[in-house]
């Protein structure tokens, strides 16, 4: 989960990922993630902010317009395997913050599509949060 190069395999909004620092996931890893934004593409540089192998990774991307903070945790789920919790916070920066509430439904749809892709890639199931 910490190696963002895998994101394009399960997140339909991710077009491509290039690692620009480090090797795979880890505390020094940085990735350029190109995402679809309607008919356009936007590149976000993700930096690893917190890394506790194999249980936790927190990554952050900031652009002029957008900040994304993603927290991925993995816990044992006895009898079932692993429980992955992926919490992504997307927000607009600066004066654009005023329309965050208007874009929340769109951000939720993006997250829902990514969640379905991850569940499918891991042959998993969603659980109530």
DSSP-derived 3-state class of residue 39: coil
Confidence (pTM):
0.89
Give the mean pLDDT of 32-53: 95
Domains in the chain, number: 1
Count of Cβ atoms closer than 10 Å to residue 121 Cβ: 12
Which tokens is 117 given?
């892709």
127 in a structural domain: no
- Determine, yes or no, domain membership for 83: yes
- Residues 6 or more apart whose CB falls under 8 angstroms from that of 23 comprise 29
Q: Which domain holds residue 44?
A: 4-121
55 pLDDT band, cuts 50/70/90, is very high
Q: Is the dihedral of CA 96, 70, 107, 30 positive or negative?
A: positive
Tokens 């993603």 belong to which residue?
A: 70
First and final C-alpha spacing in the chain = 20
CATH number for the domain harbouring residue 100: 3.30.530.20
Q: What's the DSSP call for residue 99? A: G
Residues in the chain: 129
Q: What is the pLDDT of residue 129?
A: 64
Indicate whether 90 belongs to any domain. Answer: yes
């Amino acid at each position: 989960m910490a190696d963002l190069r895998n994101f394009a395999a399960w997140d339909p909004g991710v077009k491509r990922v290039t690692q620009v620092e480090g090797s795979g996931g880890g505390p020094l890893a940085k990735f350029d993630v190109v995402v679809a934004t309607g008919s356009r593409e936007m590149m976000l540089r993700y930096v690893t902010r917190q890394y506790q192998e194999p249980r936790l990774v927190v990554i952050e991307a900031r652009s002029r317009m957008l900040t994304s903070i993603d927290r991925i945790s993995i816990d044992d789920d006895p009898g079932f395997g692993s429980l992955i919790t992926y919490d992504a916070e997307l927000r607009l920066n600066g004066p654009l913050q005023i329309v965050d509430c208007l874009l929340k439904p769109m951000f939720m749809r993006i997250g829902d599509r990514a969640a379905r892709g991850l569940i499918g890639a891991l042959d998993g199931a969603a659980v109530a949060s």
